[in-house]
Structure 1
Amino acid sequence: MDSTTHKFYLVHGMDSRSYLDTYFSNKEDMVFADDALKFPMAMFYYQFSTDRVEGTFLIDISLGSFIHHLYSASNCFKEIVVLKFQERCIMELNRWLHDRTGAYDWLHTSSAAAELEGTRDQLQEKEMRLRSSIMQILKCDFEQENITFPVLLPLADCIISAWILEVISKNEDEYMKNLEKIIKLLKPGGQLILIAVIDTTYWFAGAERFHCFKFNEEFVKNAFAKVGLATDYYAVQRRRNVSDLIDYKAMLFIVGRKGE
Structure 2
Amino acid sequence: MDPGSLKHYHEHEFDPQDLLNDFALPDTDKTLHEEIFLFPMKTLQTLTSSGKIAGKTLIDFSSGPVISHLLPIFDYFSDVIILETNDFCMREMEKWRKKEEEAFDWSHLLEHFSELEGDSKKWIEKEETLRRKIKNMMICDLSKQDPPESLALPKADCLMSFYLLSHICKDKEAYSEIIKHVSCFLNVGGYLILAGAFNVKYFSIGEHKYHSLTMDEEYLRKALEDGGFYIENLEKLDSKLSSSLNKYDQVFLASAVKVREPASPLVYSLPAPVVYSLSTPYSSGGEPMARVPEVALRALSMGTRAITPLQISPDRTQGVLQSQAAQDPRRKLK
Normalising by structure 2, report the TM-score.
0.75
> What is the aligned partner in structure 2 of residue 254 from structure 1?
254
Contact 1:198 1:252 in 2 (8 A): yes
Tell me the SS of whatever aligns to 1:243. coil
What is the 5 A alignment of 1:74-89? 74-89=74-89
Call closer, same or farther: CA 1:16–1:28 in 2, change over 3 Å.
Answer: closer
Matched, 1:164 2:164: yes
CA contact (8 A) 2:170 2:213 kept: yes
Q: Name the residue aligned to 1:215.
A: 215
User: Structure 1 residue 14: deviation in Å?
Assistant: 2.2
Identity between Structure 1 and Structure 2 (%)? 27
Distance of 1:105 and 1:147 partners within structure 2: 32
- Unaligned 5+ runs, structure 1: none
- The structural deviation recorded for 1:30 is 5.8
Q: Is the 8 A contact 1:113 1:126 kept in 2?
A: no
Bigger shift: residues 29-38 or 193-202: 29-38
- Paired with 2:68 and 2:230, the residues of 1 have a C-alpha distance of 26
Q: Give the total of aligned pairs.
A: 259
Partner of 2:147: 146
Moved more, 13-22 or 100-109: 13-22
- Counting only pairs closer than 5 Å after superposition, residues 230-249 of structure 1 correspond to structure 2 as 230-249=230-249
Matches within 5 A, 1:102-251: 102-142=102-142, 143-147=144-148, 149=150, 151-251=151-251
Q: What one-letter code is carried by the residue in structure 2 that aligns with 1:83?
A: L
Instruction: Give the distance between the partners of 1:157 and 1:254, measured in 2 at CA.
Output: 16
Corresponding position of 2:55:
55
Cα drift, residue 210 of structure 1:
0.7
- Bigger Rg over Cα: 2
Find the aligned partners of 2:234 and 2:141 in 1 and give their Cα distance.
29
SS, match of residue 78 in structure 1 = strand
SS at match of 1:180: helix
Q: What residue number does 2:321 align with?
A: none
Q: Which amino acid aligns with 1:203?
A: F
Compare 11-20 and 60-69 and name the one that shifted more: 11-20
| 1:26-45 alignment runs, 5 A limit | 26-27=26-27, 29=29, 31-45=31-45
> Aligned letter for 2:137?
I
Match of 1:22 in 2: 22
Report which stretch shifted further, 95-104 or 7-16.
7-16
Letter in 2 for 1:19: L
Gaps of at least 5 residues in structure 2 are 260-267, 269-334
Secondary structure of 1:219's counterpart equals: helix
Alpha-carbon RMSD: 1.4
Question: 2-side partners of 1:102 and 1:248: how far apart?
Answer: 32
Q: Counterparts of 1:123 and 1:257 in 2: how far apart (Å)?
A: 30
Superposed displacement of residue 12, structure 1: 0.7
Task: Indicate the larger mover: 115-124 or 79-88.
Answer: 115-124
- Amino acid aligned to 1:146: P
The offset of 1:121, in angstroms, is 3.0
User: Residue 98 of structure 2 corresponds to which residue in structure 1?
Assistant: 98
Could you tell me the TM-score, scaled by structure 1's length? 0.95
Amino acid at match of 2:75: N
Runs of 4+ in 1 over 2 A off after TM superposition: 28-31, 143-149
Q: Tell me which amino acid in the other structure corresponds to 1:232.
A: E
Which structure would you say has the larger RCO, counting Cα contacts within 8 Å and 6 or more residues apart? 1
Is contact 2:111-2:121 (8 Å) kept? no
Specify the alignment match of 2:310 in structure 1. none
Code of the residue aligned with 1:207 in structure 2: it is E
